[in-house]
């Protein structure tokens, strides 16, 4: 028999429906009857027939017409919200679906799978799992290891051995032995009591990453979780049934206890869950709607599910992937600004950078050469100022390889740490089936990813810091030789005046956010956990810093494209013209003042989706396959010290 889950005030009610030709109005009245029946005072409702209400879908909040038939507008196990006239929305219901992004809104069930073995997952894979591009399955070898690990734990329980977290309490209660009859309750109590986080929930994408990473760690076969429980977690992931995980509450040792407990709580059928089908609802109803059963915890399984660095690491994986994307796009945006400000390519001469051979510095210099004036990509703008009397550019242009380069190298360093952490067993105690024993250790300590992510925030911030100074140069007519604030009829129009202020505000916020959280530690758990990493905050603020960097660079890209308007009909190089065309596909030139925030957001979206990189990359690759940097500059464009009669030298490298 079809049934529907109806939310009224603070209650979730399952309403069976024998006849789906009944109306939405009938469904609402049936739900109200059940609601009144459960309340001593009838919930303050005197008459079901006289109560006016509206019914809407939980997912998308679309209103349903009371006269529509259920068969026409709902599917079996749909979730609906009934709002009684005069009521405010219950705080128990989450109508805004916090953290649901454009990716989640367009979620489609994936068809491809990633096989997890606990050893080979990358930050890129994890990021794509978060975006909903893949489902999960285990390798046969991983399943074998999980079974072996569980068999050892079952033996320990049968033999009544005293082992931390399996037959004892936790933390300060490690010496308290628990009777076998209470071991299931012990694990359930652990998850419930540790579900003490606060704040907004992680977005579905981030929760999906968190769940996928926890599955990957358990697949290593050193946690003692049963194969049955691990399969249940995979089924929940593949159905996109995602627990309500508050973003705050972890100190990063003993692992991310609070957020991982919330993750496990939903899988137990308690607390809240989200799925594309249901929106936010009680976990037991969400699981049931997808044909799933709550997991039942065996000895040690509660501890196995909540002990580890997976929140720090999953957020860190997103941070490092977005950082890598913005760093290489920052090179493209800065190159476009250099063109608009009539800069030179001489500072990117390979001989300069071979004398200070940091990999990132060399990579950035080569990328600038790939984008700027050369035989391969001639620029009319560069040609127009070839023999001007300026000698060198400001640091914000000339020193891009040095400043952007260290950000690139730092990202590579952090990515290596995050990828190692992704494939590490980080819970406690560890189960070694081949040795027949469990060993307590400290792999749950989050210092590695915490320190790395603090470093990442500091390095990536500099991309915004230098970008904001380039925006200033674009907007300041004394520095740019362009109209003030990049707009005609200045005074009547303010142009990019306040867009630059926004960039300055974001850079200033980043300076505070870049204070490292991992230098702090507060003793917890009655001094049992007397040194912690504060890695959860390191990860969250790194992501905020990166988002600010993306937004500042979006403003610079908008400003640089606007600057080109004042240099027309001259054209820049082919790859930079392609970037200009991409921006103009979503934002028109700034002829007179208009609402600017949507323009910034549209270009920010291009950057997040890496479209700026994707447009320029084929030209970068082709250039670098044909031109190898040598001792001479790729193209001495502006500020030439040669006489006007000297031939223009370009070196084609074999």
For residue 274, give the CATH number of its domain: 1.10.275.10
Residue 654: is its pLDDT beyond 60?
no
Structural domain containing residue 547: 316-427+439-524+531-626
Tell me what pLDDT residue 634 has. Answer: 41
Classify residue 297 by its DSSP letter.
P
Tell me what pLDDT residue 626 has. Answer: 84
Query: 536 and 405, same structural domain?
Result: yes
Per-residue pLDDT tens for 606-620? 999 999 999 999 999
Q: What is the mean pLDDT of residues 125-135?
A: 96
Question: What's the CA gap between 432 and 439, in Å, rounded?
Answer: 8
Query: 371 and 277, same structural domain?
Result: no
Within-domain flag for 54: yes
Among all chains, which residue has been given the structure tokens 């913005």? Answer: 326
Per-residue pLDDT tens for 355-411? 999 999 999 999 999 999 888 889 999 998 887 777 789 999 999 999 999 999 999
Residue 58's pLDDT band (boundaries 50, 70, 90)?
confident
Give whole-number Cα distances, 148 to 117, 154, 221, 306, in Å. Answer: 15, 10, 8, 21
Residue 637: is its pLDDT beyond 60?
no
The lowest-confidence range among 93-97, 490-494, 581-585, 640-644 is 640-644
Q: What are phi and psi of 395, to 5 degrees?
A: -60, -35
Active site residue 448: no
Q: Which of 307, 339, 370 is the last residue of a domain?
A: 307
Per-residue pLDDT tens for 90-125? 444 444 444 444 445 556 789 999 999 999 999 999
Q: What is the mean pLDDT of residues 423-432?
A: 93
- Residues near 84 by Cβ (< 8 Å), separated by ≥ 6? 8, 9, 45, 51, 52, 53
Nearest to 280 by CA among 80, 505, 580: 80
Within-domain flag for 99: no
| Total number of domains in the chain | 3
Residue 467: is its pLDDT beyond 50?
yes
The lowest-confidence range among 101-115, 493-507, 549-563 is 101-115
H helices of 273-349, where? 283-289, 301-306, 310-340
Q: What is the mean pLDDT of residues 279-284?
A: 87
Does residue 280 sit in helix, strand or coil? strand
Question: What is the distance of C-alpha 334 from the center of its chain?
Answer: 25
- Residues near 96 by Cβ (< 8 Å), separated by ≥ 6? none
Percent of the chain whose predicted confidence (pLDDT) is above 70:
93
Query: 622 and 496, same structural domain?
Result: yes
Tell me what pLDDT residue 524 has. Answer: 86
Within-domain flag for 637: no
Tell me what pLDDT residue 608 has. Answer: 96
122 CB neighbour count, 10 Å cutoff? 15
The lowest-confidence range among 10-24, 250-264, 458-472, 554-568 is 10-24
Question: What is the distance of C-alpha 588 from the center of its chain?
Answer: 29
CATH of the domain at 15: 3.10.20.90
**Catalytic: which of 35, 107, 134, 164?**
164
Radius of gyration over every alpha carbon of the chain, rounded to an integer in angstroms: 29
Strand partners of residue 136: 114
Among all chains, which residue has been given the structure tokens 């998850």? Answer: 191
User: Is the distance from CB of 539 to CB of 319 less than 8 angstroms?
Assistant: yes
N-to-C CA span, the chain: 74
Exposure b/e, 79-89, CB count within 10 A at least 16 = b:
bbbbbbeeeee
Q: What is the mean pLDDT of residues 510-535?
A: 91
Query: 351 and 295, same structural domain?
Result: no
DSSP string, 490-525: BTTB-TTHHHHHHHHHHHHHHHHHTS-GGG----BT
Question: What's the CA gap between 637 and 378, in Å, rounded?
Answer: 10
Query: 320 and 293, same structural domain?
Result: no
Query: 232 and 165, same structural domain?
Result: yes
Q: Which of 69, 84, 99 is the last residue of a domain?
A: 84
What dihedral angle (degrees, nearest 10) is formed by the CA atoms of 14, 20, 23, 28? 0
Question: What's the CA gap between 64 and 81, in Å, rounded?
Answer: 10
Give whole-number Cα distances, 494 to 90, 473, 475, 636, in Å. Answer: 44, 16, 11, 36
Per-residue pLDDT tens for 318-349? 999 999 999 999 999 999 999 999 999 999 99
Q: What is the mean pLDDT of residues 173-192?
A: 88
Percent of the chain whose predicted confidence (pLDDT) is above 90:
68
Per-residue pLDDT tens for 581-601? 999 999 999 999 999 999 999
Query: 369 and 290, same structural domain?
Result: no
Within-domain flag for 95: no
Q: Which of 275, 307, 339 is the last residue of a domain?
A: 307
- Per-residue tokens: 579: 């970037």
Query: 329 and 381, same structural domain?
Result: yes
Query: 229 and 174, same structural domain?
Result: yes
Tell me what pLDDT residue 36 has. Answer: 87
Among all chains, which residue has been given the structure tokens 């950035």? Answer: 364
Tell me what pLDDT residue 554 has. Answer: 98
Tell me what pLDDT residue 181 has. Answer: 86
Sign of CA dihedral 396, 397, 398, 402: positive
CATH of the domain at 541: 1.20.200.10
Query: 268 and 221, same structural domain?
Result: yes
Residue 639: is its pLDDT beyond 60?
no
Nearest to 548 by CA among 583, 517, 513: 513
Question: What is the distance of C-alpha 482 from the center of its chain?
Answer: 38
Q: What is the mean pLDDT of residues 257-279?
A: 93
- Residues near 334 by Cβ (< 8 Å), separated by ≥ 6? 368, 397, 400, 404, 466, 467, 470, 556
Residue 57's pLDDT band (boundaries 50, 70, 90)?
confident
Within-domain flag for 407: yes
Question: What's the CA gap between 85 and 608, in Å, rounded?
Answer: 41
Question: What's the CA gap between 217 and 579, in Å, rounded?
Answer: 41
Element (H, E) at 370: helix 359-371
Q: What are phi and psi of 481, to 5 degrees?
A: 60, 25
Exposure b/e, 429-453, CB count within 10 A at least 16 = b:
bbbebeeeebeeeebbbbbbbbbbb
Within-domain flag for 280: yes
Among all chains, which residue has been given the structure tokens 């128990």? Answer: 92
DSSP string, 522-588: --BTTTTB-----HHHHHHHHHHHHHHHHHHHHHHHHHHHHHHHTTTT----HHHHHHHHHHHTTS-
Within-domain flag for 351: yes
Higher per-residue pLDDT: 636 or 80:
80
Higher per-residue pLDDT: 482 or 168:
482
Question: What's the CA gap between 641 and 635, in Å, rounded?
Answer: 13
Query: 321 and 301, same structural domain?
Result: no
Within-domain flag for 421: yes
Among all chains, which residue has been given the structure tokens 């060399």? Answer: 362
Query: 211 and 325, same structural domain?
Result: no
């Amino acid at each position: 028999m079809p049934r529907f889950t109806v939310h009224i005030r603070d209650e979730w009610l399952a309403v069976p429906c024998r006849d789906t030709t009944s109306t939405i109005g009938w469904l609402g009245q049936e739900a109200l009857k059940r609601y009144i029946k459960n309340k001593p005072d009838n919930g303050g409702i005197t008459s079901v027939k006289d109560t006016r209400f509206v019914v809407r879908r939980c997912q998308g909040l679309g209103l349903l017409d009371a006269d529509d038939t259920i068969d026409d507008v709902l599917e079996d196990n749909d979730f609906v919200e009934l709002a009684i006239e005069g009521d405010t929305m219950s705080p128990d219901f989450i109508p805004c679906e916090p953290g649901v992004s454009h990716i989640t809104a367009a979620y489609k069930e994936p068809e491809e799978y990633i096989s997890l073995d606990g050893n080979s997952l990358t930050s890129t894979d994890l990021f794509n799992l978060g975006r909903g591009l893949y489902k999960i399955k285990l390798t046969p070898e991983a399943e074998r290891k999980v079974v072996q690990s569980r068999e050892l734990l079952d033996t320990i329980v049968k033999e009544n051995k005293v082992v931390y977290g399996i037959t004892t309490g936790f933390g300060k209660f490690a010496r308290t032995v628990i009777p076998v009859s209470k071991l299931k309750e012990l694990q359930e109590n652990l998850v419930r009591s540790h579900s003490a986080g606060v704040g907004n929930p992680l977005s579905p994408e981030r929760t999906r990453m968190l769940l996928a990473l926890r599955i990957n760690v358990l697949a290593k076969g050193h946690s003692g979780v049963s194969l049955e429980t691990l399969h249940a977690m995979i089924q929940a992931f593949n159905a996109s049934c995602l627990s309500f995980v508050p973003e705050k509450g972890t100190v990063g040792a003993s692992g991310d206890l609070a957020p991982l407990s919330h993750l496990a709580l939903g899988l137990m059928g308690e607390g809240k869950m989200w799925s594309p089908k249901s929106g936010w609802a009680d976990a037991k109803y969400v699981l049931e709607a997808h044909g799933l059963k709550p997991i039942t915890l065996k000895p040690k399984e509660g501890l196995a599910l909540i002990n580890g660095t997976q929140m720090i690491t999953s957020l860190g994986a997103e941070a490092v992937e977005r950082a890598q994307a913005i760093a290489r796009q920052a090179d493209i945006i800065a190159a476009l600004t250099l063109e608009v400000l009539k800069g030179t390519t001489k500072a990117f001469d390979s001989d300069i950078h071979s004398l200070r051979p940091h990999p990132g510095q060399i990579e950035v210099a080569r990328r600038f050469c790939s984008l700027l004036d050369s035989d391969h990509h001639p620029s009319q703008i560069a040609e127009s100022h070839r023999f001007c009397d300026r000698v060198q550019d400001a640091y914000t242009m000339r020193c891009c390889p040095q400043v952007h380069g260290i950000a690139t190298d730092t990202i590579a360093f952090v990515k290596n740490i995050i990828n190692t952490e992704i494939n590490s067993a980080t819970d406690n105690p560890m189960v070694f089936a081949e040795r027949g024993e469990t060993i307590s250790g400290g792999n749950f300590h989050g210092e590695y990813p915490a320190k790395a992510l603090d470093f990442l925030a500091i390095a990536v911030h500099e991309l915004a810091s230098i970008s904001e100074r380039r925006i200033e140069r674009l907007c300041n007519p004394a520095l740019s030789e362009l109209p003030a604030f990049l707009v005609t009829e200045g005074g009547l129009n303010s142009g990019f005046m306040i867009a630059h202020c926004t960039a300055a505000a974001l850079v200033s916020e980043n300076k505070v956010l870049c204070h490292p959280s991992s230098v702090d530690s507060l003793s917890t758990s009655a001094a049992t956990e007397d040194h912690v990493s504060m890695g959860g905050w390191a990860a969250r603020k790194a992501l905020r810093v990166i988002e600010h960097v993306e937004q500042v660079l979006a403003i610079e890209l908008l400003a640089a494209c606007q600057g080109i308007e004042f240099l027309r009909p001259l054209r820049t190089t082919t790859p930079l013209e392609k970037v200009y065309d991409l921006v103009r596909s979503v934002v028109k030139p700034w002829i007179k003042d208009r609402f600017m925030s949507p323009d910034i957001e549209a270009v920010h979206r291009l950057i997040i989706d890496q479209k700026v990189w994707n447009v320029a990359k084929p030209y970068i690759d082709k250039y670098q396959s044909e031109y190898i940097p040598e001792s001479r500059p790729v193209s001495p464009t502006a500020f030439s010290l040669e006489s006007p009669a000297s031939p223009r030298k370009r070196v084609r490298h074999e």
